[in-house]
Structure 1
Amino acid sequence: MTQTVLRNNEIRLPFLGAKINFIGGLDPLGLQNASEQAYSRLLPGLNNVTGLIRSYSFYPWLLSQYPKSIVSTDPSKQKQFIRRAEFLNALISQSNGIQGINGGTLAAKFLEEENNSFDLQKGIYNSNGSTVDTYWKYPFGIFGQYYLGSIRQIGIIEEVVDSNNILLGLYRPTKQTDHSIVSGDSLAKAFESNISDSNRLLYLKCIESGIVNRNNLKQLKDDFNLREIDQTTEEWNLLTKLLISTDTPLIYGEEPKNRRKETIFHLMNFASDTNREINDREFTMWAYDSKGLINENEDECLSGWYYYQLNEYWQLACTAILHASIEKLQDLAGTGWYPFYELIEIISSEITLSLKENGLIESENDEVIQILDKVNSSEKNLYLEIMNTLGIQRSNSSFKLLFKLLKENTINAERLRQYVSENQYDLSKDVLSFIEEFQLTENLSIRPFLNDFLIENIFFRHKHIAYRKMGLGNQSTEKFILEEGMIRMIDLFGPGFTGPRVGNLITYLKDLQLLSPEGKISKVGIDFLEKLKYDI
């Protein structure tokens, strides 16, 4: 065996790593990826924070004005131009009672001062050029953080390149090359047609000078209200057309599809049938209940939303079990150490007793497969139970939801696997893998099943995900420390659904007056839906 010999006066020190910092983190079991891929495919060009449909015409217009106002290829100049415009919008909105415009907190503070005029530069940069505690911390403003990715994906802006095809970090609206496609240039022109020349010049003057007064804010209110769009205008027509346009493929070589248009069709049909205010979760739960079928025929788009909500129920139930399990650890040991496998036995014993008290099993020797037909509560009611209980009751409701999902969806698993494959989802762990794995354990008695599930799918799964997220860094999202058969609590993390972008889509439909402010389908929406039926 080779031995290392220390030379005279040589000292070898052990490697000392940086101290690990524990942070909150999201998705502690790494099960939300399937849901996120699903809604990304179904609603491309949107995200969960792009809350204003008129921004899809405003930003192309603003970018079209940049080279007219400032002749510079320095990206920092365009960033300043956009940041001044966004803070100006916030001041216009706050001073005129227009809600839902980002940057309003700092704008309100400016307006509380007795000054008649305001320095935009003081709202967008600190004296040292930093953006902390300004109207928006992200250097490229609301545009860069919230809208850039989505409006590039939907095809209305592009990054500028030089003569050597090198990206310059500048953006401009796309040119009109096909009249069947909504371009950034056409949206910019439509936006400009809805503002007066005097207000256009005033708005740009305020940006260029960096100064705006209270009279300016009042004068600019109507033209630069990003919450209202006149439905008799070309801007309204183009924004509506943009929403239902063919999706830009997310995968190279993929055939263009119309998932966004079809989602809008299903959402508005749902609104029409319910004739009351709707929300995003009601829609996805309705899609789940439909099992992706319309009049017993499979619908690809609705199947996507069925798969999304199925995965949501599953990831929520698993996360709730993790939360309840760590809560039990906290009850037993506080923040101290506790034997890991003893904890597993205690939790599975309590769940088994609860299942017996609920009439789902007669003894712990019952096979798991026997439980499935005894869960009579709906998925929605079990979800509500999970969210309104803690401890063993939460774990019990979570396992009941898992059993219910198996009972109602195993028959559709192969159809959903085909959907996932055809849409090229990149998945290693989703609800379909759970359904497949269950077939190997369905004849186990309840206690061994619970023990294995808790160890492999909850505790070990979380450790694996937390280590993967940490990588070579020193920030850990671990909710517990597990060492040499002992476990110690670090933090709790509650269950919840992901945001499927449908909420923002509903907001867009309200801004376009296709839905009323209360979320019901409007007269304009009924006419729009009727036309859409023949275009799906």
Structure 2
Amino acid sequence: MILLPQWTEKAEKRGLDPLGMQNSGVLLYQSLLPGISNVTLRMRYYGYYCWVSETYARRDATSDFEAWRTWVRRAEALYALVSARTGETGVGGIEWANRRLATSGRVIDFEAAASTDPAQERYLRQSLGVFGGAYYSQMAEMNLFTENRHGIQVATKDLGRRAASLFADAIGPDLARLLRQKIVDAKVSLRELDRLQPIAPSQIAEESEERTFYETLLFARSDDASKSGPSRAASLDLILETAFTQEEWPSPEQVRWHLFDPPEPALSSSLETQRLAWEAYQCQDMMQVACAALLAWGIAIINAEAQGKSLTEIRADILTHLETLDEPHPDLSWRALRLGLDPHTFDYAEMWDELTGARGAAADKAISACLLIAALHQRLLDRPDLAAAAAQGLPDRGMAHSLRTEISWLEDREGERIATLIADYMIERIIRRHSHVAMQKLRRQGDYTFLFEQQEGRFVYLAAYQPVATTPRLASAIQFLADIHLLDDDGLTALGLAARDTSR
């Protein structure tokens, strides 16, 4: 089974993960919300695609992949037009659909837009649309889709067909026939778009078997749930807990920070285990942001001279700056620095905002980054439960760098004065590390992601870098819960409270 996104062309990824640290956090959050991704934006797509697959299979389907791709692309283009007509968001091709609605007459012919012809204004460039680029891998994770022997993605016999049937029942036979015919025709009138409004993402009926099915699927309450389902369910339960506490529709940032500290009253043991994994992820993301801030400082030092600087000169500049500081004192050891911080009262959120914000001098942010790293180091030492969660979810050796690999490096030299230690860390773990990571990307992927390059023994500036947090699928998960009426602007709905009670 091929679960990789299917694109028509490779996207440029300049500067992405310049220190090779983000991937450790990405792998962790993927295990915490399997079946949902940052680009699966609406819950109802899961039922719609199952219906699209079953409808294709029942109308003299062939094993020709091109015919299947045409069917999927037309179904997506039509869905975008219906969604644009009803003011929806989170739908693939919605910008194209809004433009077509603004310029078209009473009938919209979308055959060319749904083709793969690059000469046409396509609703999306991806070969198999948002289905292949985003949804298929996640629906396969949930046992809704698989791949047949001809390489065509098909709804599974159990869950997939059940989802297709419930979507069809929800919109009714007359609308299902119209929807099928419009995909075949690749042409739709404005009046027909209005008739098709009940298929839109926000139109899942509150009292419907379709809605109940989605809730059962997300919270892994059926016997045929995937092995990864309980992890997703636990994370969704934690989002419900956040909404219950906040008494509002929570943002991803609110969820992150709500899960960062053990709550009162205590959670159940299973939910606390999942919360600890999220806390470990947040610590990992803070570590990679802190290291990115150090990279930004290194780039600023390199950029101070048009001809660049050698490693010796970079290290000397770092030491010169650190030796002038009163706080932290350059003669302190790393051990003394971390012991002098209270990891429980340290303002992680404020430091996070400073490092990810656009304002502030790179050198000042670098010092804040060092304090954050020291606080994270001490937090793990003070919290065996958190250290265990980090050990389970993050690598501590090999090519991948993470919170654990960096702390391990610091622990080996924590008796040294911090001015020397930080200067060496900058050279070994930041400057050289970026050069290595960028070279590997160039060799393996053909992507040129160097932020500085070596010329005759000197590092020469190419581009600046702003620390970027990873995006752990929370926005999509929150929207899914809203789509099935568990969340609204006031927090948990009656259905959300019932779902929370079920998981307690």
Cα distance in 2 for residues equivalent to 1:312 and 1:291: 21
Which is greater in Rg? 1
- The alignment status of 1:498 with 2:470, answered yes or no, reads yes
- The alignment status of 1:527 with 2:495, answered yes or no, reads no
Q: Tell me what 1:147 maps to.
A: 135
- The alignment status of 1:321 with 2:280, answered yes or no, reads no
**Structure 1 residue 135: Cα displacement:** 0.5
Q: Which amino acid aligns with 1:394?
A: K
Secondary structure of the structure 2 residue equivalent to 1:476 = coil
**Structure 1 residue 228: Cα displacement:** 2.5
Show CA shifts across 1:489-526 (max 9, x none): 1112211111111111000011111110x262222211
- The alignment status of 1:210 with 2:182, answered yes or no, reads no
Cα distance in 2 for residues equivalent to 1:325 and 1:423: 26
**Structure 1 residue 366: Cα displacement:** 2.3
**Structure 1 residue 343: Cα displacement:** 2.0
**Structure 1 residue 324: Cα displacement:** 2.2
Deviates more, 1:317-326 or 1:129-138: 129-138
The answer as to whether partners of 1:292 and 1:304 remain within 8 angstroms in 2 is no
- The alignment status of 1:175 with 2:157, answered yes or no, reads yes
**Structure 1 residue 33: Cα displacement:** 1.7
Q: Tell me what 2:113 maps to.
A: 123
Query: How does the TM-score come out when normalised to structure 1?
Result: 0.84
Secondary structure of the structure 2 residue equivalent to 1:204 = helix
- Count residues in correspondence: 486
Alignment of 1:87-486 (within 5 A): 87-125=77-115, 129-130=117-118, 133-161=121-149, 168-176=150-158, 183-222=159-198, 224-245=199-220, 258-290=230-262, 294=266, 299-330=272-303, 332-334=304-306, 336-354=307-325, 356=326, 359-361=327-329, 364-375=330-341, 377-388=346-357, 389-412=360-383, 416-417=387-388, 420-421=391-392, 428-471=400-443, 474-486=446-458
What percentage of residue pairs aligned between the two structures are identical?
Answer: 21
More helix by share: 2
Deviates more, 1:502-511 or 1:481-490: 481-490
The answer as to whether partners of 1:157 and 1:184 remain within 8 angstroms in 2 is yes
Secondary structure of the structure 2 residue equivalent to 1:487 = strand
Cα distance in 2 for residues equivalent to 1:107 and 1:526: 37
Secondary structure of the structure 2 residue equivalent to 1:118 = strand
Cα distance in 2 for residues equivalent to 1:520 and 1:265: 13
Show CA shifts across 1:241-266 (max 9, x none): 0001179999xxx9766111111112
The answer as to whether partners of 1:278 and 1:519 remain within 8 angstroms in 2 is no
* Structure 1, unpaired ranges of 5+: 1-21, 162-167, 177-182
Cα distance in 1 for residues equivalent to 2:27 and 2:221: 19
Show CA shifts across 1:445-466 (max 9, x none): 1221011110111001111111
Show CA shifts across 1:428-460 (max 9, x none): 421112222222111101221011110111001
**Structure 1 residue 189: Cα displacement:** 0.7
Cα distance in 2 for residues equivalent to 1:340 and 1:247: 58
Deviates more, 1:108-117 or 1:447-456: 108-117
- The alignment status of 1:66 with 2:56, answered yes or no, reads yes
Runs of 4+ in 1 over 6 A off after TM superposition: 246-250, 295-298, 422-427
Cα distance in 2 for residues equivalent to 1:297 and 1:68: 47
The answer as to whether partners of 1:90 and 1:101 remain within 8 angstroms in 2 is yes
**Structure 1 residue 421: Cα displacement:** 4.2
The answer as to whether partners of 1:293 and 1:303 remain within 8 angstroms in 2 is no
Secondary structure of the structure 2 residue equivalent to 1:121 = coil
**Structure 1 residue 423: Cα displacement:** 9.1
Secondary structure of the structure 1 residue equivalent to 2:108 = strand
The answer as to whether partners of 1:293 and 1:302 remain within 8 angstroms in 2 is no
The answer as to whether partners of 2:333 and 2:417 remain within 8 angstroms in 1 is yes
Change in 2 beyond 3 A, CA 1:249/1:480: farther
**Structure 1 residue 70: Cα displacement:** 4.1
Q: Tell me what 2:4 maps to.
A: none
Q: Tell me what 1:13 maps to.
A: none
Secondary structure of the structure 2 residue equivalent to 1:79 = helix
Query: How does the TM-score come out when normalised to structure 2?
Result: 0.89
Show CA shifts across 1:169-193 (max 9, x none): 21221112xxxxxx01111111110
Change in 2 beyond 3 A, CA 1:399/1:293: farther
Cα distance in 2 for residues equivalent to 1:291 and 1:218: 47
The answer as to whether partners of 1:93 and 1:101 remain within 8 angstroms in 2 is yes
The answer as to whether partners of 2:206 and 2:484 remain within 8 angstroms in 1 is yes
Cα distance in 2 for residues equivalent to 1:446 and 1:172: 58
Q: Which amino acid aligns with 1:235?
A: E
Deviates more, 1:281-290 or 1:415-424: 415-424
Q: Which amino acid aligns with 1:526?
A: L
The answer as to whether partners of 1:61 and 1:192 remain within 8 angstroms in 2 is yes
Show CA shifts across 1:21-50 (max 9, x none): x97230000001211111111111111110
